[in-house]
Amino acid sequence: MSPRSTVRPLLSVITPLYNCLPLTQAMVASLQKSIPFWIPYEVILVDDGSTDGTREWLKGLKAPFRVVLNDQNLGFGGSTNRGAEIARGRILALLNNDLVLKPGWLYPMLRGLALLGWRAGLVGNVQLNASTLRLDHAGIVVDEKCKPQHDRKSPRLWERIFLPIRPAFAVTGACLVVRTSTWRRLGGFDEAYRNGCEDVDLCLKAREAGLINAVALHSIVLHHVSASPGRKAHDESNSYRLTLRWRDRLAEEASREWTWEHCWRDRLAEEAARGWTWEHFTPFLPEPSDTPDKMEAFRTALYLLRLRRWPPAEAMKAKQSAIDLELARWQKMFSS
């Protein structure tokens, strides 16, 4: 028995399994090599009905491993919830079985929780596609159709140097850490989602509770993206459910991005305050001669600076229209 298994673990790693045994074995090997020796941990492997020899392999594992065998396939959300129910650690680490973990991946994520303190929600990290080594995830953003998408823009150099964490709308459940108490307070994953969107849903619940989700920019892992069988089979129904529940929040976040792009395109902020340069927006203090609606411009500036909660009416209207189009498409799809 491992010395670390004789004390209550600080960390409970939870990994749902469904076939893909070689990837699971590689992930487990990289996990054991990369967790610092001073962190007591347990690994809870939840098998979701594998048929490729995974269950036979699990029989040979000893502490710090714990095994849960599902009688029927529960999907990612249900399997993760089962693992979390028996977790003894104060912190949960949700890890997909198709990750490759390098030394140094864990500490920046734990530090992120510590820096956020009582306001910590879910903390993710930077993920590279294991096949191409291209950036696959630096958080989750909302696109022009108000759908959550991985942020695949590389963090800026100054962010990587000076910021240990960066606030995020949401992070992927493929690799994240969260306090066990927070997980249980939020209710874990909604099992009505099927292998998708349950992580975004939980992040939104965290935001509604006043918590901050973040990306640990100094934590980098490799991910065999969507390697699990059937990973994309329920994307449309998952997105439909998420949009019905969080329509206003998705529109608000998409409006923020729309507003940046709109202001850059129309040059409302040209030459107004040269010292500020943000990615899609130079300073928003418009010249009177350039701006027909000064109060709307002022409200937009406050919103972009996060001094005002709600986006400008024009931006919100545009995003609500995009959502209406998607909802109409989904209603037609699922009513037929």
Listed residue (211, 212, 200, 213) closest to 245, CA to CA = 200
d(C-alpha 58, C-alpha 15), whole Å: 13
Q: Are 122 and 201 in contact (CB under 8 A)?
A: no
Domain co-membership, 59 together with 171: yes
DSSP secondary-structure letter at 36?
A: -
Domain co-membership, 229 together with 80: yes
pLDDT band for position 106 (cuts 50, 70, 90): very high
**Average pLDDT of 66-89?**
97
Q: Are 94 and 172 in contact (CB under 8 A)?
A: no
The model's pLDDT over 146-169, given as tens digits with 9 standing for 90+, comes to: 789 999 999 999 998 999 999 999
Domain co-membership, 62 together with 139: yes
Last residue of a domain, one of 212, 233, 254: 233
Domain co-membership, 257 together with 181: no
Question: pTM for this one?
Answer: 0.78
Structurally, how many domains does the chain consist of?
Answer: 2
d(C-alpha 10, C-alpha 64), whole Å: 12
Domain range for residue 89?
Answer: 3-233
Among positive and negative, which fits the CA dihedral 232, 236, 237, 241? positive
Domain co-membership, 248 together with 228: no
Between β-strands 65-69 and 41-47, what pairing exists: parallel, antiparallel or unpaired? parallel
d(C-alpha 324, C-alpha 251), whole Å: 11
The model's pLDDT over 157-207, given as tens digits with 9 standing for 90+, comes to: 999 899 999 999 999 999 999 999 999 999 999 999 998 899 999 999 999
CA 154 to chain CA mean position, Å = 16
Last residue of a domain, one of 204, 233, 262: 233
d(C-alpha 29, C-alpha 16), whole Å: 16
d(C-alpha 54, C-alpha 139), whole Å: 31
Residue entry with tokens 């956020």 = 116
The model's pLDDT over 287-301, given as tens digits with 9 standing for 90+, comes to: 444 555 666 666 666
Domain co-membership, 176 together with 281: no
Burial code (b: 16+ CB inside 10 Å, e: under 16) for 256-265 equals: bbbbbebbbe
Domain co-membership, 259 together with 210: no
Which structure tokens are listed for 307?
């001094």
CATH of the domain at 60: 3.90.550.10
Domain co-membership, 81 together with 228: yes
Which structure tokens are listed for 205?
């619940």
Domain co-membership, 177 together with 276: no
Between the CA atoms of 76, 91, 124 and 212, what dihedral angle is there, to the nearest 10 degrees? 110
Last residue of a domain, one of 233, 261, 295: 233
Domain co-membership, 14 together with 163: yes
**Average pLDDT of 309-329?**
67
